[in-house]
Structure 1
Amino acid sequence: MSAPAAHDPRQLSLITEPSFYHDVSESSYLALLARQLDGGLRQKTFRTSQLDKVIQAAPRDRDCYLSQAQFMRPNRRAVNLYSLPLLFCDLDPTTKRHLPPEEWRRAVLMACNDQGLPAPSLIVYSGRGVHLKWILDKPLPRAALPRWNLAQRLLGEHFADLGADPQARDASRVLRLEHTVNTKTGERCEVVWVTDGGDGLPIRYPFDVLFDEVAPLARGQLEELRESRAAEKATKPPRWGDGPSLTLIKGGRYGLKRINYQELAWHRLEDLRSLAVMRAEGSASGEALAGERMRFLFWSLNFMALSHAVTPSSFWREAQSLAATLAPGWRYDSGELSTLYHKTMAYFRGEVVEFEGRKVPPLYTPRNATLVERFAITDEEQRRLKTIVSKDEARRRHAERERQRRRQAGAMDREAYQATAQHRRDVARALRAEGATNAEIAQRLGVHVKTVPRLIREG
């Protein structure tokens, strides 16, 4: 990646903005994209621990972009997501006139005040529009991607009048790097606002607090609404797409926690990834997932689309990345995914289909039993998965949760209870042999007087 000459004064400006939300780590990767002298873009992935060195060496006299999320592999795709350290919103001018940074800052802060939203931790002028960034007090893990996606969409809706770009809110997004030049306008990307957190650094927000601020209903209100609507519709079949997009559905029977359908799809993807790892590690032939690759790729992409981790525009790139994680060097037949791709496009257009009198998404929404059968998942494998489990495994987990609940409440396990009962019977017989009355034995053991004859008889 070429850089400007060392004597270029623009190269002397230290880039500090990414260090506010990207923690140093050897476990994760970032991506840097830079415009080359021939006009093309070149991407470089690097460990987060190298962030300071990489961004200080980045060219300042042309377009340069940095990923906002971190990834578990050197590949900037949602399937490799590691963590999400912030929420962001990309605003572009709604007219041909370019607003100066001061007007952007004033418009954004006024919109936040009018809508009761927390001010962004940072407002970054991109040379044309602005990037709004709300830094989180701790990065979200990959499992939280569906909720993060929903928060991103809601933020975009709040700032739609200011030109929020609906195509620039995904987890694999890159945004312009501070102190670099926007070659379309010739202006530099600069931080133009910092909301002080009281320690001289940009403020950090708990994700749940931000979510409740941007959502039309806070989580507690949402749960009350869900319960009231469930009571009203108890006699009606569930209809996908009814009510607000935040409506929660049951994750299953036997006390499984309630999650929305996007979270359920993401957890199923995680289960398929875990299952693929288990089978690859246990492969006697040494060939990873022989005969199962396309099945894993197809269903994983389906669940990524349902969870909004894959969009029609990123479908084929994510398919390539996912195929590489399943079996490096594997060449799959893209024709086998064409139907799924068209279903994904229909899903993102908001289309639904009728199925047994219900409206359901055009993508595949199988039952757990179907997935267990399709993948021939054994009982041992199910015990290591989170959501793709049979009813028998769900019952076993429910029974185990109940046992733990009783133990935490002070209840004894079966063996301890039997030992205590036998001890009472032995003491009752010994006291009776000494001539004690039923009342005296009952008082000694702390039981009802009518229980004593049974203890002696059973002993």
Structure 2
Amino acid sequence: MNAVTIEPATGLLCLSRALASELLPFEHAAIIHPSDTRTAAIFRGSWFNPDRRCWEDNTFAAHGGNVEEAVARGTPRFVTMNAFRTRSACFKSDWRENPWKETQNLAALQAVWTELDFHDKPAWKHLSPAEMIFHVIERIRSRGWPLPTYILCSGSGLHVVWLHTRVSPRKAMGIWKALQQALNDAFIDMGRDKAAMSATTNLRLAGTKNEGRPVSILWPVHVDEIVRHDFDELCRAILPYTVDEARAYKAKLREQKTARQARIAAPTGTPRLTGTTFYATLLADLDKVMTDRFPGVVDDGHRNEMLFIHARVWAWLMEPDELIARIKAEAPRFGFTQREALTHMRSVINRAKSACNVGRGQADPRYKIGPQRIRVDLGITAREAKRLDLRMLIPPSLRRARAAERAEKSRRARGAASRAEQQSVRLEHGREAIRLREVEGLTRIQIAERLGGVSPSYVDKAVKEAKAVALIRPKRARKTKEELNEDSLEAEILDQKRERRIADREAEAIAAAAMAGSHDSSRYMSNDAGALVAAESPAYHGDIHGVAPPSSEEHERLVSGLAGRPFSVSAPRQHANEEARRRHAWWTDHLRQLTRSLAEGRSASAR
């Protein structure tokens, strides 16, 4: 491993054998940001505001040569590990007082690190920071990695830092992120802080305090033992691939992307989708909906909504002057005059004009509008979307169905088999795999090779499906009466079931008649098993003693049918409700008394 010893900053030459644990904040900052650099180091601290009588955060920046003066003036507690350009966060403000601490403003990458909050882990929380250092160093050595530049105690945790030669973020940001990820993944069980992995992270300065606990460098012991590693050598030692291999892989991806774009742009390929095609398709769907719903002029209840939706889409497809002309031309269609339409759409026009002055990196002020919001506002259903052949204003269910249909067509075009065919083939493979395992005793890998080089997971899935199909029992065909005659017991059981069904139907008829109530129609008895039949006579009111005597014909018919035989009414089925059972009991008592009265009348007349 090539290692470059750090040149001590101003004031540190005489302290080359000084203890690292005694470094002051500006000395620690000078190690991270050397004095010969023209990039900015960003600091963060706090200061007491006498006007508000409270402590406030204070962020400022300084060149490498001005670190000592800036630290003495601002008393910071944190410093960025990477360097930034001398740009301010606000226009026309001083970058020293208002620095721009964003990823796009990075000037150089010069360190990787991991922040360990081991006090939150049960396996390590009983150790002190000094004791924890030995476990960290042992893990680094076991992986064959270079030792860190320094390990700092942040008060309760550890900052393990590897300083390296400066590289450009534009060229090496991807490799730097991979290196940072690899380092932090090695200390997950020790409580690595995932939130402190960003390139813009700031860490604590040595010589400060964290809630009363001192912050200091615990390893190495002396200042002259602090080294800065070569970035390429550090990547080769830690990453599973070299920098050259990563660059070759990126070049290959770029070639594939170029070929894919050329294939898409070819006449036979799919047309390239852009923002213009998006809003043009959305506008076509809107026109279909409006033409279908409002063949003439849009009615008063929907004209404001329809014009506002159309104007927001037009704003993304044309310049402000064209937008104004389009609104004027379409105003009569929406039931407005030109002046009214321009007044109502003033906000859309103003935003379209403001969009012409938007610079790079600034947000577009035009209204953001999506198809799903329009679909919900207009209440477009799946049936309407199918009927009008809409492409974007469709519900999610229809969108998924169309996506599945397109995928199916694409698979068919590539020669892929249907799902049913694949399942059939897989079922045969599963049965064959079961036979090979039980008869020949082959393993999964051997079975996969025997079946034509399929994967072992495919064998597992095929066997699972074959077992599931084997457990399915075919339905037995129902026997006819002639077939059951051969077995008298089964025939008898069948007859008993049929008789029970007939009895249940009779009970259901009685329960239904009882539920109709005495206020619906009067009742009379028939010759068949005491069933209740609705009659056309007026409704009966009152109890049994107030009933009118039957006519002579009814008397003869009822007496001839009922006298001399016991009367019974099948009980209602168990599932009948309580009201049905109550009515059934009342009618049973009613009919028994009527039968008894008729029988006594016939006996008296005979005597």
TM-score range, shorter chain: 0.3 to 0.5
What is the TM-score normalised by the length of structure 1?
Answer: 0.45
Say which one has the larger Rg: 2
Q: Which has the higher contact order (CA 8 A, sep 6+)?
A: 1
What is the TM-score normalised by the length of structure 2?
Answer: 0.35
Q: Which has the higher helix share?
A: 2
